Amino acid sequence: MSAKQLGIGLVGYGFMGRTHSNAFRRVPNFFPGVYEPVLIAVAARNEARARDFAAQWGYQRAETDWRKLISAPDIDLIDIASPNDTHAEIAIAAAEAGKMVLCEKPLGRTAAEASTMVDAVEKAGVPNMVWYNYRRVPAVVLAKQLIDEGRLGRIFHYRAKFLQDWTISKDLPQGGEGLWRLDVSISGSGVTGDLLAHCIDTALWLNGPIDEVTAMTETFVKERKHSLTGQIQQVGIDDASAFLARFANGSLATFEATRYARGHKALYTLEINGESASLFWDLHDLHRLQMFDHRDEGRLRGWRSIHITDSDHPYMKHWWVPGLQIGYEHTFVHQFADFLEGLESGSVPGPSFRDGLATDRITDAVLASAKSKTWQSC
């Protein structure tokens, strides 16, 4: 069935290294096509752990220097799943070597950094994608279809939140393995780049460009111990970030992200209100889409909870039977399946690096607005 082998080199073996690797391995089972991914190598600084990771996920070899992947002739695609501060250098090197590039989000730590990455892949003309995986949740894709079909009519409101609670404890250290998201020098920002970036990417995709924002951020815990050095450091990231926005289509929006919302683990919710219908989705029950359709008979109108598990729902004919839900990791499988299909058809779908840059521009504007306490045009 699969005729063309596609050699993959992965940089990073953390949480995202796992989700990407799983996608590479699941696609042939559930979305078989012309391209067959071959897991060639994983690169990471810790040699023993890189080797274990390679064994567990079936990579043929492990490297401690990602440059070895760039120069390897059997590798066609570089997948970047390492911390944010490494994205640009690796992506640019990969593009210059003519490799396809997949990059974990956010693309850069700033729009300026992301811009150099866009330049590199566009100059090299290599297929590229950013892992904004929530665009591949079947319920979110169905929302996109409904919006594009004009089912919602004129849009009045957009609302998105991404609420977590895992950094409330003052005793949580920052920096080091699994904790680099709290170290601003590596991550670039706190929840703005980590969580709001997801909300913004989906919003731009569903509701079009944002014109202007006014924002506020806060760092609730001002000092933390570094996990490796043990030293008490200033906390540089934003713990919480919220903004008001106006979209180009005239709709108003509220956005919020935090890691201090007790009781919410990864509650990404979005809602869009149109003249004729409204939609709501929630990551904690990602297999459902809520819809209110004003065209329903008056006395029978209500919010409908659509269990997105039927064969006519996006991607779902590839999985099980109606009523049987999929989970989080499936979104990465969908994205990689779409990427391979794009290679086949000659048209790789978004989110491209250019799309990733668009989101970075908004997160930059959010941080600038919070700092200056002024509205920022986007």
Q: Which amino acid is at 129?
A: M
| Binders in 286-305 for its own copies, by CB under 8 A | 286-287, 289, 291-294, 296, 298-305
Judged by DSSP in three states, 83 sits in coil
Residues contacting its own copies: total by CB under 8 A:
92
Contact segment (CB under 8 A) with its own copies among 75-83, 117-125, 254-262, 344-352 equals: 254-262
Selection from 359, 357, 349, 356 nearest residue 200 by Cα: 359
Selection from 350, 367, 363 nearest residue 195 by Cα: 363
Check binding of 1 to its own copies (CB under 8 A).
Answer: yes
Tell me which of 20, 105, 136, 264 binds its own copies, using CB under 8 A. Answer: 264
Give the residue with the Cβ less far from its own copies, 187 or 352: 187
Q: Cβ of residue 79: shortest distance to its own copies, in angstroms?
A: 16
Kind of pairing between the strands at 100-103 and 77-80: parallel
Taking residue 332's Cβ as centre, other Cβ atoms within 10 Å add up to 22
Tell me which of 34, 172, 179, 306 binds its own copies, using CB under 8 A. Answer: 306
Q: Cβ of residue 142: shortest distance to its own copies, in angstroms?
A: 7
| Binders in 228-247 for its own copies, by CB under 8 A | 240, 242-244, 246
Give the residue with the Cβ less far from its own copies, 312 or 346: 312
| Binders in 106-165 for its own copies, by CB under 8 A | 142, 156-157, 159, 163-165
Check binding of 260 to its own copies (CB under 8 A).
Answer: yes
Q: Which amino acid is at 349?
A: P
| Binders in 190-209 for its own copies, by CB under 8 A | none
Is residue 9 within 8 A of residue 80, CB to CB? The reply is no
299 class by beta-carbon count within 10 Å (0-12 exposed, 13-18 middle, 19+ buried):
exposed
Give the residue with the Cβ less far from its own copies, 96 or 165: 165
Chain centroid to Cα 69, Å, comes to 23
Check binding of 172 to its own copies (CB under 8 A).
Answer: no
Which two structure tokens, joined as six digits, stand for 173? Answer: 């250290």
Give the span between the Cα atoms of 44 and 81, in whole angstroms. Answer: 10
In angstroms, the Cα distances linking 42 to 53, 59, 307 are 8, 7, 37
| Binders in 22-41 for its own copies, by CB under 8 A | 22, 25, 28-29, 32
In angstroms, the Cα distances linking 250 to 202, 203, 212 are 17, 14, 11
Q: Cβ of residue 122: shortest distance to its own copies, in angstroms?
A: 33
Taking residue 84's Cβ as centre, other Cβ atoms within 10 Å add up to 25
Which two structure tokens, joined as six digits, stand for 48? Answer: 């023993």
Judged by DSSP in three states, 245 sits in strand
Is residue 35 within 8 A of residue 2, CB to CB? The reply is yes
Give the residue with the Cβ less far from its own copies, 99 or 259: 259
| Binders in 312-341 for its own copies, by CB under 8 A | 312-313, 319-330
Check binding of 262 to its own copies (CB under 8 A).
Answer: yes
Kind of pairing between the strands at 223-225 and 128-130: unpaired
Tell me which of 85, 307, 341, 354 binds its own copies, using CB under 8 A. Answer: 307
Check binding of 274 to its own copies (CB under 8 A).
Answer: yes
Q: Which amino acid is at 181?
A: R
The site map against its own copies for 211-230 (x = CB under 8 A) is: ---xxx-x-x----------
| Binders in 49-78 for its own copies, by CB under 8 A | 52, 55-58
Give the residue with the Cβ less far from its own copies, 209 or 322: 322
Q: Cβ of residue 55: shortest distance to its own copies, in angstroms?
A: 6
165 class by beta-carbon count within 10 Å (0-12 exposed, 13-18 middle, 19+ buried):
middle
Give the residue with the Cβ less far from its own copies, 97 or 216: 216
